[in-house]
Structure 1
């Protein structure tokens, strides 16, 4: 896989405020990178830097091996971008705007454009002034997905779309990935990120707090246990590796708790004393991992 995006020790200051602190990540061809974090964490500042709209205070940021600030015009020939809020020319139709975007970009697939218009159930004949937020997003998505690019940057791309249209977008991202394209996806829909992304970067207060595959991250997270026993687990709450123990108010033989992933064997050994009837365990979701860092950042 070829390296498409290389960000190393990126810092950005606005006056005395440091928006980004030593941000580093990579994105390869045929890969989807999820970029998530709370509002104000630095996601948009990072993306604006990648697009060459603002200049980094220090560090290196390269796309296709080229500097994003000095070579932005060259880079944009092979880059497609969808922002989280799209503003359109009110007197042009959606179809006219899509064609304008595609001609400005350069290489595009007209058949793919027509296919996407049908898939997204989009009416290209209406004036843009009449479009809802979801339809404005569709204009940008159709134009980006029909363009022939090597890197796709999506910043909250499904904002305003209903679940069926979100599914269409997800199918298209899977197609791009299969074609060897590189995709940077910043999304507030964590289930979408979890489903689509090969690697995830979580940013909080301008710093990357987690970076890697979800499985690599989960070695730092806890497992959720739901257990039914024949004997009351009276001593379980006293174990240092058991967290957030909850006993079912209607049935004291049903309990739920969390434990670190490296303590699973100890959990199983402890549970044998209570005559287990049923046990379910699952790793934390990306949302739980994200909220863990978000609450830490706020505290």
Structure 2
């Protein structure tokens, strides 16, 4: 079942095109990673999904409803956490959480208290006294204490320490186990890799790669560390071999998937002492797309 569908979505601000033909879907019970550097178009896409911005062309729907025309009905079934939560300064954190839950018409006191305890939040303090991390905790508690079917999380762990990031990840996985869907926009690649079923990479307003991590990894380079009895002369000149450098463990290099067989054949004739292979990571793929490029979009 498709929960969210974006079809050739574009957004212009005057002559500036912030989004270009963005297309992806999110299924029920799926955690979908939406990654790119600051300014690539992630937040513009999310603001469009929330009904804040009207698309210039294309369409987007959540639960089969148009995000612009039926945003009020959609918001009854989603929870949104921004990258920097702006809260009412004179209310306490607890009052803000209760307000959000009351607006949604859902209230689970036991779940709310569990979240407050796990995120180590003092709900009795005024929001004006909170650090950025504590403001994020208020937003996260309000989101996960709700009965939302789709969580839209835009850089949700900004300002959280590593321990709280781990608590966040536990609740995202719990939501998935309950059949909920999650759109996770982040530039923390390790977090996305740990949590997400599928990923889309956006650059300068365009989706440049999407799919499951396994599907995308064939496009990345395998990291090898090789030590041989005879010198590895000429290895850097082989097709598909990149960033060759000497380390304490041996010669480190990156190899394109299609060139791996030829490289292994060559080094096997030189008397292998050590051969370490590290699978490609999401960061490897991300950096390949962004090497030598910049972005100035929002």
Q: What's the TM-score, normalizing by structure 2?
A: 0.96
Kindly indicate whether the alpha-carbon contact (under 8 Å) linking 2:9 and 2:57 is maintained by their aligned counterparts in 1.
yes
The CA deviation string for residues 177-229 of structure 1, in whole angstroms up to 9 with x for no partner, is 01110100011211000000000000000000110011111111111101111
2:91 and 2:145 map into 1 onto residues whose CA distance is 19
Kindly indicate whether the alpha-carbon contact (under 8 Å) linking 2:221 and 2:284 is maintained by their aligned counterparts in 1.
no
Matched with 2:88 is 89
Q: CA RMSD in A?
A: 1.3
The CA deviation string for residues 34-74 of structure 1, in whole angstroms up to 9 with x for no partner, is 00111111101000000000100111100000100000000
Matched with 2:5 is 6
Matches within 5 A, 1:1-299: 2-248=1-247, 254-298=250-294
Kindly indicate whether the alpha-carbon contact (under 8 Å) linking 1:223 and 1:260 is maintained by their aligned counterparts in 2.
yes
- Structure 2 unpaired stretches of 5+: none
2:85 and 2:283 map into 1 onto residues whose CA distance is 26
- Structure 1 unpaired stretches of 5+: none
The CA deviation string for residues 114-152 of structure 1, in whole angstroms up to 9 with x for no partner, is 100000011111111111000000000000000001000
1:150 and 1:181 map into 2 onto residues whose CA distance is 5
Deviation of residue 283 (structure 1)? 2.7
| Segment drifting more, 151-160 vs 102-111 | 102-111
2:293 and 2:236 map into 1 onto residues whose CA distance is 28
1:137 and 1:298 map into 2 onto residues whose CA distance is 28
In structure 2, the CA distance between the partners of 1:238 and 1:291, relative to structure 1 (3 Å rule), is: closer
Kindly indicate whether the alpha-carbon contact (under 8 Å) linking 1:38 and 1:294 is maintained by their aligned counterparts in 2.
no
**Paired residue secondary structure (2:291):** helix
**Paired residue secondary structure (2:218):** helix
Kindly indicate whether the alpha-carbon contact (under 8 Å) linking 1:49 and 1:55 is maintained by their aligned counterparts in 2.
yes
1:187 and 1:237 map into 2 onto residues whose CA distance is 35
1:109 and 1:63 map into 2 onto residues whose CA distance is 25
1:39 and 1:163 map into 2 onto residues whose CA distance is 21
| Segment drifting more, 155-164 vs 233-242 | 233-242
| Segment drifting more, 6-15 vs 286-295 | 286-295
1:20 and 1:34 map into 2 onto residues whose CA distance is 17
